[in-house]
């Protein structure tokens, strides 16, 4: 399974393309299956149908936990580092994790959760989050983790979309010097969620919360009553493992469905190779488990490899911007994986915050979530990697389940801003404006993937038509990623960014439509359009062009109201950095808002708008360009 030389990479790559079934079967054989599969892969790229290891039966938690008990029961599986450095870290061994997951599995069963039921998990980065996820997987319930920064209405929409039967939450959560009242957000959400029967509440902040009789139960009260033994439910390889929502370019979030066998095989394989993980290493991914990065590379990938994985509750700048480096030294972290937005934020701080620490345990450092700019890459490589650690710029998506394009440490060349080469079994292609594959090595186009890999999402929960239309119709026979990319003469890929209406702000994927919908709910607002513009730390920030029904006096107050509305409908991450009130939005003759023009204006390139004479209302552009407001 391990790629340790260039020849091995090349041979694996060749086999992954020429004999994918043999290639993936050999990897799948490393895991425990209660029943072997009948076929390795069946697919139809036109109908968006995929199955991997069909007929096989396994439980991912047996492979994540039970399988390691013989040799690693006293090894730490998860290190929980609390928000406050004054609070001691918790080390959960594989044996402890087994007991805790079994107990939680029994707790879920005791409140009537069965295989196939959906469970919403709305928790801060505390051990109960990891344990709840694994407990769902153990009994075959489908987890839907919802990032604890989402607002009550975003939470309600996600709970209802997949009809979750219960919500697992906490009284509150700590983040930096703030605390978030999660339980009251859940209470507000549940007014609109008739499907939810129970709320299980973990205690973290010990703040006073309201508990609704019969519906709300403290976790500790059920955990104290159930056994710590549980036999994992055998799952079909294609049984859903989880749903994870991601923003699309249209209104409703997409509940991406990942299944069991292929996801297990792929996340395990890529974790081991992309991070060159060796037994005994301590690995840290700073993401939140509310995102796919946390699912695949804090929990499943590392645990499948019997790794020690750190879960950090806090933020990079609390109590000071040296926190990450303090944690790296404290636990002698060997692999560190973070996002460009965090790197840029920390690079702005004095180097003394870094240089206080040795960081000499680090072997590999990684980046994910958005294109990493050259300056950030160099800072990271020099100051954190001390010019010796390979930087793995990993490209992937919620939909892909695992990393598809990334350097392999000490094997692939280091080219700043390049995600470099595809992993074995992955066939990226670039499409030109005519929808044809660019055959030359050097080129720039839209990034598609030509054949399926084991952890490709299987569908959008409840809406296979949307799945097919979003990813498989733009280029029939291919999976379309929504990203643009270029390929150099050596065949290395550089991802240039989204080509659709998704904007990545501080690594968070935000669709413009839901934000516009939120703004348009304001009674004084006629319509709005959101675009991204470059931001020093966030990568991209949001710029809103907003048309009013009638002019208002106090525009500052209205701007505040808009951001408040967005925070309550989606979450603070979707707040606008700039708002410009306009007397109209540039539109095509068919009435479509010309975002391209607004994007140029927001980026400060209003001089280069191209031909606007075919617009329905070219005069509006002049007005906006001048920065005029009502
Ligand atoms: C989008 C997917 C994958 C986990 C986190 C984000 C962008 C991701 C990179 C990278 C350039 C990247 C893409 C992609 N992206 N990694 N290394 N270089 N862009 O998951 O929220 O589903 O977002 O993130 O635009 O399409 P996600």
Q: Which residues does ligand 1 sit against, CB inside 6 Å?
A: 246, 291-293, 368-371, 393-398, 419, 481-483, 495, 498, 504, 509
Q: Write down the pLDDT at residue 596.
A: 86
Closest CA to 325 of 343, 340, 304, 302: 343
Atom of ligand 1 nearest to the CA of 481: 26
Give distance in angstroms: CA of 204 to centre of ligand 1.
31
Structure confidence at residue 616 (pLDDT) = 82
Residue 497's pLDDT band (cuts 50, 70, 90)? confident
pLDDT at 629: 61
Inside any domain, residue 616:
yes
Give, in degrees to the nearest 5, the angle at Cα 606 between 603 and 608: 105
Mean pLDDT of the chain: 95
**How many distinct structural domains can be found in the chain?**
1
* pLDDT at site 91: 98
Which of 131-135, 324-328, 363-367, 589-593 is predicted with the least confidence, judged by mean pLDDT? 589-593
What pLDDT, in 10s, does the model give residues 534-579?
A: 999 999 999 999 999 888 889 999 999 999 999 999 999 999 999 9
Angstrom distance (rounded) from CA 41 to CA 253 = 28
Q: Which two tokens stand for residue 102?
A: 């079994």
> How much is the average pLDDT of 454-458?
98
- What is the atom index within ligand 1 of the atom nearest the CA of 371? 11
- Smallest CA separation from ligand 1 atom 8, residue: 369
What number does the ligand 1 atom closest to the CA of 497 have? 25
Q: pLDDT band at 593, cuts 50/70/90? A: confident
- Assess whether pLDDT exceeds 60 at residue 630: no
Task: Say if 476 falls within a structural domain.
Answer: no
What is the number of the ligand 1 atom nearest to the C-alpha of 372? 18
Which one has a higher pLDDT value, 612 or 72? 72
**Cα–ligand 1 centroid distance for 395 (angstroms):** 6
Nearest CA residue ID for atom 19, ligand 1: 370
Domain-located, residue 329:
no
Q: Which residue has the tokens 């038509």?
A: 465
Q: How confident is the model at residue 98 (pLDDT cuts 50, 70, 90)?
A: very high
> How far is residue 82's CA from residue 91's CA, in Å, rounded to a whole number?
11
* Confidence at residue 392, expressed as pLDDT on a 0 to 100 scale: 98
How close is the Cα of 513 to the center of ligand 1, in Å? Answer: 19
Pick from 353, 426, 407: nearest CA to 383: 353
Buried b (16+ CB within 10 A) or exposed e, 67-81: bbeeebeebbbbbbb
How far, in Å, is the centroid of ligand 1 from the Cα of 368?
6
Distance from the CA of 330 to the center of ligand 1, in angstroms?
29
pTM as predicted? 0.93
Read off the CATH number of the domain in which 569 is found. Answer: 3.30.300.30
| pLDDT digit string, tens, across residues 204-232 | 999 999 999 999 999 999 999 999 999 99
Using the predicted structure, report yes or no on whether residue 247 has a pLDDT greater than 90. Answer: no
What percent of the chain lies above the pLDDT cut of 70?
Answer: 99
Instruction: Give distance in angstroms: CA of 461 to centre of ligand 1.
Output: 21
Tell whether 144 is covered by a domain.
no
> Sorting pLDDT into bands at 50, 70 and 90, what band is 250?
low
Query: Which of 401, 509, 573 has the most ligand 1 atoms within 8 A of CB, as the residue to mutate?
Result: 509
Q: Does residue 437 sit within a domain? A: no
Ligand 1 atom with the shortest distance to the CA of 394: 17
In this structure, is residue 523 part of a structural domain? yes
Among 118-122, 343-347, 394-398, 604-608, the minimum mean pLDDT is found in 604-608
Is residue 249's pLDDT more than 90?
Answer: no
Ligand 1 pocket: which of 370, 376, 399, 404 to mutate (most atoms within 8 A of CB): 370
* pLDDT at residue 564, rounded to an integer: 96
Average pLDDT in the 419-436 region?
97
How far, in Å, from the CA of 163 to the mean position of ligand 1?
28
DSSP character at residue 456 = -
- pLDDT > 90? residue 313: yes
**Atom 18 of ligand 1, nearest CA residue:** 371
**Is 581 within the bounds of a domain?**
yes
- Tell me, in angstroms, the distance from the centre of ligand 1 to residue 495's CA: 9
Between the two ends of the chain, the Cα-to-Cα distance in Å is: 63
Query: Mean of the pLDDT values across residues 83-96?
Result: 98
Residue 370 Cα to ligand 1 middle (Å): 5
Helix (H, G, I), strand (E, B) or coil at 443: strand
* Beta carbons of 519 and 601 less than 8 angstroms apart: no
Count of CA atoms in the C-beta half-sphere (13 A) of 576: 28
Residue-level pLDDT at 251: 63
Categorize the per-residue pLDDT at 275 as very low, low, confident or very high, splitting at 50, 70 and 90: very high
Distance 605 CA to ligand 1 centre (A): 26
Residue of minimum CA distance from atom 7 in ligand 1: 370
pLDDT (0 to 100) of residue 551: 87
| pLDDT for residue 628 is more than 80 | no
Q: Judge whether 162 lies within some domain.
A: no
Cα–Cα dist 542/168, whole Å: 32
> Which atom of ligand 1 is nearest the CA belonging to 482?
26
Q: The domain containing residue 593 runs over which residues?
A: 502-625
């Amino acid at each position: 399974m391990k790629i340790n030389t260039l020849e091995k990479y090349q041979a694996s790559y060749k086999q992954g393309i020429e004999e994918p079934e043999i290639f993936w079967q050999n990897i799948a054989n490393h895991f425990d299956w209660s029943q072997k599969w009948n076929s390795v892969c069946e697919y139809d790229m036109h109908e968006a149908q995929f199955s991997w290891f069909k007929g096989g039966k396994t439980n991912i938690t047996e492979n994540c936990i039970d399988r390691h008990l013989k040799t690693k029961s006293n090894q730490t599986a998860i290190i929980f580092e609390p928000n406050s450095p004054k609070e001691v870290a918790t080390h959960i061994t594989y044996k402890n994790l087994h007991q805790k997951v079994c107990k939680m599995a029994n707790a879920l069963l005791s409140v009537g959760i069965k295989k196939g039921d959906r469970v919403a998990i709305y928790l801060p980065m505390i051990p109960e989050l990891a344990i709840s996820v694994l407990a769902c997987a153990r009994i075959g319930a489908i987890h839907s983790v919802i990032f604890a920064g989402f607002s009550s209405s975003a939470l309600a929409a996600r709970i209802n979309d997949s009809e979750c039967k219960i919500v697992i939450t906490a009284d509150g959560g700590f983040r930096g010097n703030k605390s978030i009242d999660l339980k009251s957000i859940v209470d507000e959400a549940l007014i609109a969620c008739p499907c939810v029967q129970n709320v299980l509440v973990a205690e973290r902040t010990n703040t006073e919360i309201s508990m609704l009789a019969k519906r709300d139960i403290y976790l500790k009260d059920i955990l104290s009553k159930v056994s710590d033994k549980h036999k994992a439910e055998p799952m079909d390889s294609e049984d859903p493992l989880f749903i994870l929502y991601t923003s699309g370019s249209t209104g409703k979030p997409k509940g991406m469905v990942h299944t069991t066998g292929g996801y297990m095989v792929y996340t395990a394989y890529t974790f081991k190779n992309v991070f060159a993980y060796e037994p005994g290493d301590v690995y840290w991914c700073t993401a939140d488990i509310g995102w796919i990065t946390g699912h695949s590379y804090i929990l499943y990938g590392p645990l499948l490899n019997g790794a020690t994985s750190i879960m950090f509750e806090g933020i990079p700048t609390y109590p000071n911007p040296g926190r990450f480096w303090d944690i790296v030294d404290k636990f002698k972290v060997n692999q560190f994986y973070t996002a460009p937005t965090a790197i840029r934020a920390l690079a702005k701080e004095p180097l003394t915050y870094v240089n206080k620490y040795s960081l000499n345990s680090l072997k590999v450092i990684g980046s994910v979530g958005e294109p990493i700019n050259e300056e950030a890459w160099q800072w990271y490589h020099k100051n954190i990697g001390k010019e010796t650690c390979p930087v793995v710029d990993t490209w992937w998506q919620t939909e892909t389940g695992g990393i598809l394009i990334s350097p392999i440490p000490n094997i692939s060349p280091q080219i700043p801003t390049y995600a470099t080469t595809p992993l074995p079994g992955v066939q990226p292609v670039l499409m030109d404006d005519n929808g044809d594959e660019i055959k030359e090595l050097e080129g720039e186009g839209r990034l598609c993937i030509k054949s399926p890999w084991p952890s490709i999402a299987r569908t959008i929960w409840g809406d296979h038509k949307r799945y097919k239309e979003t990813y498989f119709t733009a280029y029939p026979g291919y999976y379309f990623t929504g990203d643009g990319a270029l390929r150099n003469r050596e065949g290395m890929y550089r991802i240039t960014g989204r080509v659709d209406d998704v904007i990545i702000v501080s690594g968070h994927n935000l669709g413009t439509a839901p934000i516009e919908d939120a703004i348009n709910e304001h009674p004084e607002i006629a319509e709005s359009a959101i675009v991204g513009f470059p931001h020093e730390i966030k990568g991209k920030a949001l710029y809103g062009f907003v048309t009013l029904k009638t002019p208002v006096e106090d525009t500052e107050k209205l701007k505040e109201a808009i951001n408040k509305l967005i925070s309550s409908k989606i979450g603070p991450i979707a707040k606008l950095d700039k708002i410009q009130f306009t007397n109209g939005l540039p539109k095509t003759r068919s009435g479509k808002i010309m975002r391209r023009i607004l994007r140029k204006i927001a980026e400060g390139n209003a001089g280069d708008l191209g031909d606007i004479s075919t617009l329905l209302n070219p005069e509006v552009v002049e007005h906006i360009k001048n920065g005029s407001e009502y």
